[in-house]
Structure 1
Amino acid sequence: MTALSQLYPQPLWQWFEQICAIPHPSKHEQSLSQHIQAWAKQKQLDVVEDAVGNVIIRKAATPGMEDRKVVVIQAHIDMVPQKNADKVHDFIKDPIEAYVDGDWVKAKGTTLGADNGIGMASALAILGSDDIKHGPLEVLLTIDEEAGMTGAFGLQAGMLNAEILINTDSEQEGEIYMGCAGGVDAQITLPMVWQASEQSYASFSLHLSGLKGGHSGVNIHLGRGNANKILARFLFENADELALELTQFTGGSLRNAIPREANISFMLPAENIDALKEKVHAFEALMRAELAIADPDLRLVLSNIATPKRVMSENSQNTLIDLLHVCPNGVMRMSDEVTGVTETSLNVGVISTNDEEVGILCLIRSLIDSGRSQVEGMLNALTNLAGADVEFSGAYPGWKPDNTSPVMAIVRETYESIYHKEPVIMVIHAGLECGLFKKPYPEMDMVSIGPTIRYPHGPDEMVNITTVGQYWDLLVAVLERIPVKA
Structure 2
Amino acid sequence: MAVLKGLKPEKVFAYFEKLCSVPHGSGNTKIISDLCVSFAEEMGLKYRQEPCNNVVIWKPASPGCESAEPIILQGHIDMVCAKTDDCTKDMTREGLDLMTDGEWVWADKTSLGGDNCIAVAMILAILSDDTLVHPPIEAVFTVDEEVGMDGAFALDCSDLRGKKLLNLDSELEGVFTVSCAGGMRSDCLLPAELTDAAGTEGFGITVAGLQGGHSGADIHLGRGSANRLMGRVLAAALEKFPGLRLAAISGGQFDNVICSRCDAVAALPTGSGAAFTAFIREFDAGLKNEYAVTDPGVTLTCAAAEAAKAVPAERTATLVQALAAMPQGVEAMDTDFPGLVQTSLNMGVVKLDGDGLHITFSIRSSIASRKLMLAQRVRAVAALAGGTVAERGVYPGWQYKRESKFRDTLLAAYKDLTGKDGVVEATHGGLECGLLMEKIPGLDAVSMGPELHDVHSVRERLNVPSTERTYELVCELLRRSC
* Fold shared, TM-score > 0.5 on shorter chain: yes
Give distance in 2, aligned partners of 1:134 and 1:73. 12
> Partner residue of 1:425?
424
Taking structure 2 as the reference length, what is the TM-score of the superposition? Answer: 0.97
> Partner residue of 2:223?
224
1:420 Cα deviation from its structure 2 partner: 1.1
- Give unpaired runs (5+ residues) of structure 2: none
1:20 Cα deviation from its structure 2 partner: 0.8
1:300 Cα deviation from its structure 2 partner: 2.7
Judge conservation of contact 1:242–1:275 (CA < 8 Å) in 2: no
> Partner residue of 1:374?
373
1:51 Cα deviation from its structure 2 partner: 4.2
Report the secondary structure of 1:439's partner residue: helix
> Partner residue of 2:82?
82
Matched to 2:234, the amino acid is L
Of 18-27 and 207-216, the range deviating more from structure 2: 207-216
1:66 Cα deviation from its structure 2 partner: 1.4
Matched to 1:288, the amino acid is K
Give distance in 2, aligned partners of 1:102 and 1:51. 38
Report the secondary structure of 1:285's partner residue: helix
Matched to 2:228, the amino acid is K
1:374 Cα deviation from its structure 2 partner: 1.3
Judge conservation of contact 2:178–2:446 (CA < 8 Å) in 1: yes
Of 321-330 and 232-241, the range deviating more from structure 2: 232-241
Runs ≥4 residues deviating over 4 A:
none
Judge conservation of contact 1:143–1:151 (CA < 8 Å) in 2: yes
Q: Percent identity?
A: 33
1:472 Cα deviation from its structure 2 partner: 0.9
1:333 Cα deviation from its structure 2 partner: 0.6
> Partner residue of 2:136?
136
Report the secondary structure of 1:5's partner residue: coil
Report the secondary structure of 2:139's partner residue: strand
Matched to 1:172, the amino acid is L
> Partner residue of 1:339?
338
Matched, 1:37 2:37: yes
Give distance in 2, aligned partners of 1:348 and 1:307. 25
Judge conservation of contact 1:40–1:57 (CA < 8 Å) in 2: yes
Report the secondary structure of 1:6's partner residue: coil
Report the secondary structure of 1:345's partner residue: strand
The 5 Å alignment of 1:233-248 reads 233-243=232-242, 244-248=244-248
> Partner residue of 2:273?
273
Judge conservation of contact 1:405–1:445 (CA < 8 Å) in 2: yes
Matched to 1:441, the amino acid is I
The 5 Å alignment of 1:55-454 reads 55-101=55-101, 103-199=103-199, 201-243=200-242, 244-308=244-308, 310-454=309-453
Taking structure 1 as the reference length, what is the TM-score of the superposition? Answer: 0.96
Matched to 1:355, the amino acid is G
1:89 Cα deviation from its structure 2 partner: 1.5
Report the secondary structure of 1:4's partner residue: coil
- Give unpaired runs (5+ residues) of structure 1: none
Give distance in 2, aligned partners of 1:121 and 1:292. 39
Give distance in 1, aligned partners of 2:267 and 2:386. 25
1:234 Cα deviation from its structure 2 partner: 0.7
CA displacement, residues 134-179 of structure 1 (integer Å, 9 cap, x when unaligned): 1111110011111121210012232212121110001111100111
Give distance in 1, aligned partners of 2:411 and 2:72. 18
Report the secondary structure of 1:80's partner residue: coil
Give distance in 2, aligned partners of 1:445 and 1:51. 27
CA displacement, residues 393-448 of structure 1 (integer Å, 9 cap, x when unaligned): 11010111112122111111111111111111011111110111112201111111
Give distance in 2, aligned partners of 1:250 and 1:356. 14
Give distance in 2, aligned partners of 1:219 and 1:159. 37
RMSD of aligned alpha carbons: 1.4
Cα distance change of structure 1 residues 160 and 335 upon mapping to structure 2, 3 Å threshold: same
Judge conservation of contact 2:266–2:307 (CA < 8 Å) in 1: no
1:303 Cα deviation from its structure 2 partner: 2.5
CA displacement, residues 171-199 of structure 1 (integer Å, 9 cap, x when unaligned): 11110011111101111111114442124
CA displacement, residues 205-241 of structure 1 (integer Å, 9 cap, x when unaligned): 1122221111111111011110001111111112231
Give distance in 1, aligned partners of 2:194 and 2:23. 40
Give distance in 2, aligned partners of 1:152 and 1:3. 32
Matched, 1:465 2:457: no
CA displacement, residues 222-261 of structure 1 (integer Å, 9 cap, x when unaligned): 1111000111111111223134321112111101111111
Give distance in 2, aligned partners of 1:296 and 1:102. 29
Report the secondary structure of 2:310's partner residue: strand
Judge conservation of contact 1:212–1:460 (CA < 8 Å) in 2: no
Give distance in 2, aligned partners of 1:98 and 1:339. 37
1:39 Cα deviation from its structure 2 partner: 1.8
1:301 Cα deviation from its structure 2 partner: 3.3
Judge conservation of contact 2:288–2:296 (CA < 8 Å) in 1: yes
CA displacement, residues 97-125 of structure 1 (integer Å, 9 cap, x when unaligned): 12114622111111100000111100000
Give distance in 2, aligned partners of 1:264 and 1:124. 45
Report the secondary structure of 2:131's partner residue: coil
Report the secondary structure of 1:271's partner residue: coil
Matched to 1:139, the amino acid is A
CA displacement, residues 311-367 of structure 1 (integer Å, 9 cap, x when unaligned): 211221111111111111001111010122111100011111112211100010011
Report the secondary structure of 1:203's partner residue: strand
Report the secondary structure of 2:272's partner residue: helix
Judge conservation of contact 2:284–2:301 (CA < 8 Å) in 1: no
Matched to 1:207, the amino acid is T
Report the secondary structure of 1:375's partner residue: helix
1:280 Cα deviation from its structure 2 partner: 1.5
Matched to 2:145, the amino acid is E
1:268 Cα deviation from its structure 2 partner: 1.7
Give distance in 2, aligned partners of 1:161 and 1:51. 21
Cα distance change of structure 1 residues 406 and 51 upon mapping to structure 2, 3 Å threshold: farther
Matched to 2:346, the amino acid is N
Judge conservation of contact 2:3–2:98 (CA < 8 Å) in 1: no
